[in-house]
Amino acid sequence: MKKKTFEDLCRLAEKLRSDTGCPWDRTQTVSSMLECVDEEADEVCGAIKKEDYENLEEELGDLLFQIIMISQIAKENGHFNIDGVIAAIENKIISRHTWVFGKDKAETPDEAIAMWKENKRILAEQKSKNGRKK
């Protein structure tokens, strides 16, 4: 079997939403996907609590696909696309890990958490000054 890629999943979502795709998937909106996300996130949490890694793999896939579907719907409506989602989270993770990607130092998990919270506060303050909400 051919190895599947992230792009394959994005194409699958696009196909499901197309005129020749699934009638149910075509009717979904970002808001209507909320119940699906809640359900899949709960199933991920359940698998983690049970340490059921076989099921966790499947449930993570289900949750990932919900993110891809919501991003596809948002793309169709001109809001954003999955590339923007990926770029935003990469930028956020890098900007909050200044002890990994910058000049700060964190030697312990407690120091890392404290610095993460401080970086989050600083970035939120900067966004607020720039008029952006997050």
pLDDT in tens, 8-43: 999 999 999 999 999 999 999 999 999 999 999 999
Same domain flag for 77 and 24? yes
Whether pLDDT at 133 is above 60: no
Identify whether 91 is part of a domain. no
- Separation CA 45–CA 9 (nearest Å): 23
Q: How far is CA 60 from the centre of its chain?
A: 11
Identify whether 68 is part of a domain. yes
Per-residue model confidence as pLDDT tens digits over 69-85: 999 999 999 999 999 99
Phi and psi at residue 131, to the nearest 5° = 80, 15
Same domain flag for 19 and 69? yes
Whether pLDDT at 102 is above 70: yes
Specify whether the CB–CB gap between 44 and 63 falls below 8 A: yes
SS3 106: coil
Per-residue model confidence as pLDDT tens digits over 43-62: 999 999 999 999 999 999 99
pTM (2 decimals)?
0.88
pLDDT band at 134 (very low <50, low <70, confident <90, very high): very low
- Separation CA 113–CA 38 (nearest Å): 27
Whether pLDDT at 127 is above 90: no
Same domain flag for 112 and 65? no
Identify whether 46 is part of a domain. yes
- Please give the tally of structural domains in the chain: 2
Q: Which domain holds residue 35?
A: 6-81
